[in-house]
């Protein structure tokens, strides 16, 4: 029978504990219920049921449920004990000496972190029994990171420090980042990036008021470089896509802030700034390459290569370009005034008055990296000629067009109508390319992304320009009918395509 065949197919694995550890608890519970029903209906015999029970360790499910209840009771009890200690200390806080306060704060942080590390890493038990302890220890480590921030704030109050909230978050984030590197924990890495992000965006608006702590002003002014050096190696160390995405967002957003900070002083060179802001971030992301050569050994002593983040970086570049093109497709985005100075005078003033901009380490470093990465994309690999692939050439063409439009509009001569028309054309081409590739490869994400972008462009142009309510109503009606019809057709097409592929594989 089919079920018996599936049971026999599962015999080929040689590691039952690994199968049980990889299977989720919900799946194992459902499998036990189904297996009991199969046995009662005679679809499998007692030996096959016992094989399933041994492989997925059905007898451990009750113990896991019992351990989870114990964890809940322990957490509730520890929380109440902690609240009682905190309340007692708060009631006598003024009467406690400064040294005793510091000792209490350090003891709380070290105690929680030590217990969390012990449960998370050092308990020598089987993997399934360790599961709840691992999660509980991870929670205690996160609690320890939060306690560290509270300790920093209380120490600042005790010593009457005049630091700002931004400085607190930045120092707190750096400390949690050190914990993430030491423990190789993605959760702490994400917390560190969020804390430093809060500190950065809180302090960048009043940069001149910072500097109570040494290096804080330098860190904020050079956050793109700092984020690259601090966050991206952690993404590889933890092999975390989440940290890579958050770190890339931190690098790109802080780079845009650096360019924006020069906007008032270099209003005569707004075209140069626009060209750099439009092109350098997506150029960096799209040309990013890592070979994934870092090799590690798993528990079975098999070598594995670290996953590359290059496809993820390219996805972020596409998201950046799509968002930028959508914003620039509105004519209001081009209404900002440019400069009336001739191009020669702009260059002269940029060389004389804009040296701090031209010599900014963030601008120099990322521009050089982008150029080198694109040269690496074009270098001979499979052929003897220097050339870009078709997709790389199209992306480069879009980047050049964006740079030329921004530079020409704000530095040479306003071209509002032409720029809006070209941007909408590029946006339309990108949406249709998503549709075509999604249809050719049967990928729902690409196809629906293209369809949504195309619909969004039509509706945005309808709402942007002065059209009557009847025209708007007709646009909404046609878009709705089109999405339903095309979506149903595509789902039927994908189902037919996959059925045909399945038939070819079986034949």
Per-residue pLDDT tens digits for 382-423: 556 666 788 888 999 999 999 999 999 888 888 888 999 999
438 pLDDT band (50/70/90 cuts)?
confident
Instruction: Transcribe 162-222 into DSSP letters.
Output: ---HHHHHHHHHHHHHHHHHHHT-HHHHHHHHHHHHHHHHHHSTTGGG--SSTTHHHHHHT
Question: CB burial class (10 A; 0-12, 13-18, 19+) of residue 197?
Answer: buried
Question: C-alpha angle with apex 253: 248 to 254, nearest 5 degrees?
Answer: 100
pLDDT tens-digit profile of 351-364? 887 778 888 899 99
Q: Tell me if residue 292 falls in helix, strand or coil.
A: coil
CA angle 78/81/83 to nearest 5° reads: 110
pLDDT of amino acid 8: 41
pLDDT digits (tens, 9 = 90+) for 107-162: 888 888 888 888 787 655 444 445 667 777 888 888 888 888 877 877 777 766 66
305-320 pLDDT per residue, tens:
455 888 999 999 999 9
Place of tokens 């380490």: 361
C-alpha span between 66 and 44 (Å, rounded): 29
| Of 220, 370, 348, residue with least CA distance to 272 | 348
Which percentage of the chain shows pLDDT scores above 90?
22
Beta pairing class for 295-297 and 303-305: antiparallel
Residue 284 · residue 362 · CB < 8 Å: no
* Structure tokens that stand for 493 in this block: 């097409």
For residue 175, give the nearest of 154, 201, 155, 195 by alpha carbon.
195
Q: Is 305 helix (H, G, I), strand (E, B) or coil?
A: strand
Written as one string, the DSSP assignment of 426-458 is HHHHHHHHHHHHHHHHT-HHHHHHHHHHHHHHH
pLDDT digits (tens, 9 = 90+) for 469-489: 777 777 777 777 877 787 777
Coil, helix or strand at residue 304 = strand
List Cβ neighbours of 478 (8 Å cut-off, separation of 6 or more).
Answer: none
């Amino acid at each position: 029978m089919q079920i018996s065949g599936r049971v026999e197919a599962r015999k080929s694995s040689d590691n039952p504990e690994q199968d049980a550890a990889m299977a989720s608890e919900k799946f194992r519970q459902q499998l036990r219920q189904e297996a009991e029903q199969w046995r009662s209906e005679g679809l499998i015999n007692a030996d096959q049921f016992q094989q399933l029970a041994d492989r997925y360790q059905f007898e451990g499910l009750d113990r896991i449920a019992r351990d989870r209840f114990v964890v809940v009771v322990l957490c509730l009890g520890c929380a109440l004990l902690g609240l009682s200690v905190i309340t007692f200390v708060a009631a006598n806080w003024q009467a406690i000496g400064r040294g005793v306060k510091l000792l209490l704060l350090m003891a709380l942080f070290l105690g929680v972190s030590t217990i969390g590390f012990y449960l998370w890493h050092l308990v020598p038990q089987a993997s399934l029994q360790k599961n709840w302890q691992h999660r509980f220890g991870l929670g205690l480590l996160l609690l320890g990171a939060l306690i560290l921030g509270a300790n920093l704030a209380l120490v600042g109050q005790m010593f009457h420090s005049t630091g700002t909230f931004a400085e607190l978050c930045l120092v707190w984030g750096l400390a949690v980042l050190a914990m993430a590197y030491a423990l190789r924990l993605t959760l702490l890495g994400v917390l560190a990036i969020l804390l430093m992000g809060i500190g950065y965006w809180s302090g960048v608006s009043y940069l001149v008021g910072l500097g109570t702590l040494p290096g804080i002003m330098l860190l904020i002014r050079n956050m793109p470089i700092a984020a690259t050096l601090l966050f991206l190696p952690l993404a590889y160390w933890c092999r975390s896509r989440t940290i890579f995405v958050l770190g890339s967002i931190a690098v790109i957003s802080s780079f845009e802030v650096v360019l924006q900070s020069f906007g008032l002083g270099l209003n005569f060179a707004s075209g140069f700034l626009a060209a750099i802001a439009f092109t350098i971030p997506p150029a960096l992301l799209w040309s990013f390459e890592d070979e994934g050569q870092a090799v590690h050994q798993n528990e079975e002593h098999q070598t594995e290569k670290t996953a590359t983040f290059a496809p993820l970086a390219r996805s972020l570049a596409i998201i950046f370009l799509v968002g930028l093109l959508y914003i620039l497709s509105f004519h209001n985005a081009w209404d900002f005034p440019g400069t009336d100075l001739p191009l020669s005078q702009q260059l002269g003033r940029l060389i004389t008055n804009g040296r701090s901009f031209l010599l900014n380490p963030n601008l120099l470093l990322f521009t050089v990296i982008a150029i080198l990465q694109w040269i690496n994309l074009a270098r001979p690999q499979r052929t003897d000629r220097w050339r870009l692939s078709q997709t790389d050439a199209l992306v480069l063409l879009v980047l050049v067009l964006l740079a030329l439009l921004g530079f020409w509009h704000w530095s040479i001569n306003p071209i509002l109508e032409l720029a809006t028309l070209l941007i909408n054309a590029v946006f339309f081409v990108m949406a249709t390319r998503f549709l075509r590739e999604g249809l050719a490869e049967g990928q729902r994400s690409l196809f629906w992304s293209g369809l949504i972008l195309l619909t969004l462009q039509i509706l945005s142009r309808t709402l942007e320009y002065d059209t009557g309510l009847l025209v708007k109503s007709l646009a909404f009606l046609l878009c709705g009918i089109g999405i339903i019809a095309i979506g149903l057709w595509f789902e039927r097409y994908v189902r037919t395509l996959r059925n045909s592929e399945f038939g070819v594989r079986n034949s």
